[in-house]
A = this chain, B = another copy of it.
Amino acid sequence: MDLARLSLNTKTVPTLTLAEVIEHCQRRGIRTVAPWRDTIAPMGAAKAGGMLADAGLGLSSLCRGGMFTAASAAGRQAAVEDNLRAIDDAAALGAPVLVLVCGPVVDRDPRASAGMVEDGIAAVLHHAQDCGVRLGIEPLHPMLAADRSVITRVADATRVVDRLAAPPSLGVVVDAYHVWWDLELDESLGAVGGGGVLGFHVSDWASPLTGGLASGRAMMGDGSIDLPALAARVEKSRYAGPVEVEVLSDLWWRMPPDHVLDTVVERFVAHV
């Protein structure tokens, strides 16, 4: 894929400061970034947004809000408040999309937990609309249901969008590592309502994993995912925006950022 579409998700090189990320991107012709909140926390969202604008870098998203599930009402309310702040951060930063990792199964009840996700998003949706920030529900791989997200398939995310009346400010983020195995993926991509597909993340699946369940991704080209075919399927669902490289990997995190980013650029062009 054309390098112009590459957006660097900062969790791919988590030891770098925002200033270092900017320098690395400029040197390699990477035009877009997707920061995590911990990357912008040291200087705050407004200043981070200014740094990126001054450098001529665009934004694909802010990672991440969500985590709406909790056993107690107080816990769920705290999550809503954290998401309101995350939406403010996305707006101040200039990020068009806040990615939502929706929260794990609680009380051993996937369906009830999915209901908490709907309630949580409903509680923050108007604020997102007011701020001009779109919310992107990212399904995570089912192996992360107990730890991170009860929403595991594009079809699950679409159902949430539909139940909240499919507003244009709510859509779905597609991550190759999380959804590549789904035999109903094409039908699900074709049925995404609301704001539609709001982001596309790439890495690869190789077993054994390169680390833990949440940090076990492979570099593009090293695994079992036909990324060009998947990219074509996502484009068919009318997404033509930046493509985030998000390689959360205990293996790659141990390598020098220069090597990681050289590899990211080379593999993006050759294997996505």
Contacts and interface: CB of A to CB of B under 8 A. Distances in A.
A229 B182 CA distance: 25
Nearest to A223: B146
A159 B183 CA distance: 10
B109 A226 contact: yes
A131 interface: no
Interface string A217-231: 000000111100100
Contact of A183 (B108, B110, B183): B110
B142 A110 contact: no
A145 interface: yes
A223 B146 CA distance: 9
A150 B213 CA distance: 19
B225 A181 contact: no
Contacts of A105: 181, 224
A47 interface: no
- In the complex, the count of this chain's copies comes to 2
A155 interface: yes
Interface stretch (A9-17, A38-46, A69-77, A200-208): A200-208
A183 B147 contact: no
B150 A224 contact: no
A253 interface: no
A152 interface: yes
Contact of A182 (B108, B109, B141, B142): B142
Interface in A84-119: 105, 108-111, 114
What 8 A-B pairs come out closest when comparing CB atoms? A145-B181, A108-B226, A146-B224, A143-B143, A142-B181, A142-B142, A156-B183, A146-B207
Interface of A: 105, 108-111, 114, 141-143, 145-147, 150, 152-153, 155-156, 159, 180-184, 205-209, 212-213, 223-226, 229
